[in-house]
Amino acid sequence: MKDIKNLLVLLLFLFWGATAFGQYAYFPTQGTITYDKTVFLKNLLKRYATYAKDEDTRSSIKEMIGQIPENQVLKKKLTFSNDEVLYEHIAEEYSDVVSGLMRSGIFESGISGYQNLKSKAFNSVFELGGERVVVADSTLKIKWKITNEYREIAGYPCRRANGLVLDSIYAVAFYTDQIPVSGGPSAFNGLPGMILGLAVPELHYNMFATKVELGAVNPSSATLLKKKDKPLTRQQVYDKLKASFGDYLGIKIYNLVMACTFL
């Protein structure tokens, strides 16, 4: 009888030990994710052309469309812990025409961002027209509807969710609950797991994780910010830059440019 009791104790110990180990391995809360962000440049500029305020602007954009590649892939890195997510642009060499578009803000110019999922604090840094812009605001509130569609991304099973952000922009995200951190790339968050895939049709880009590496990291807003920075809220950034770019671009194109910088 004693031997049977000892055997039962041993089996229970092994069971709970395996369960604890399995939970640790299955639910990582620290690591680094690499993404490829594909911006469909020609389609984006065609949208700009439809929004052009006059025929001269429309003709200039159409001329530009003939000079640019079909799409441009940007490299992104995300480090995450339980409550913090740091999203960074990985700088590379780009063609002169692509570099010019990025500097002018026609499409994103190396956006990096930070989210504190506990305090709901958000920071991002980007350049527009050669000016460094720093945002300090709260994390975005996104209306998500989880679906029953699944796909595998970077070796993780992911579930689809459809979202509405900035009141009217539709987004599709694929998240995995095997990484139980409610964050994602850029300013996206709010799902019961990490976002590994993202598509924003109106802004003509998608983003998919290519590699997930688990391990201790220390994401921090200090990585992005400088002492001389003068952060503004999203609304303050919108109002400030509107005076410089809104009249020049026209309000419809300007709104699209700002959506690209905020998302």
Q: Cβ of 96: how many Cβ atoms within 10 Å?
A: 8
Q: Under DSSP, is residue 76 helix (H, G, I), strand (E, B) or coil?
A: strand
For the stretch 176-220, pLDDT in tens is 999 999 999 999 999 999 999 999 999 999 999 999 999 999 899
Closest-CA residue to 67 (of 88, 42, 92, 48):
42
CA dihedral sign of residues 10, 15, 20, 26: positive
Contact residues for 83 (Cβ-Cβ < 8 A; gap 6+) = 116, 117, 118, 119
Specify the pLDDT at position 28: 83
Contact residues for 88 (Cβ-Cβ < 8 A; gap 6+) = 76, 77, 78, 79, 112, 223, 224
142, 165 contact by CB (below 8 A): yes
Contact residues for 183 (Cβ-Cβ < 8 A; gap 6+) = 78, 80, 85, 115, 117, 189, 194, 195
CA distance 118 to 173: 21
Specify the pLDDT at position 18: 42
CA dihedral sign of residues 11, 15, 21, 22: positive
For the stretch 69-106, pLDDT in tens is 999 999 999 999 999 999 999 988 888 888 888 887 77
* Token pair listed for 198: 């993202």
CA angle 236-206-76, nearest 5°?
A: 70
pTM of the model: 0.87
Specify the pLDDT at position 38: 96
Closest-CA residue to 113 (of 31, 197, 3, 223):
223
153, 209 contact by CB (below 8 A): yes
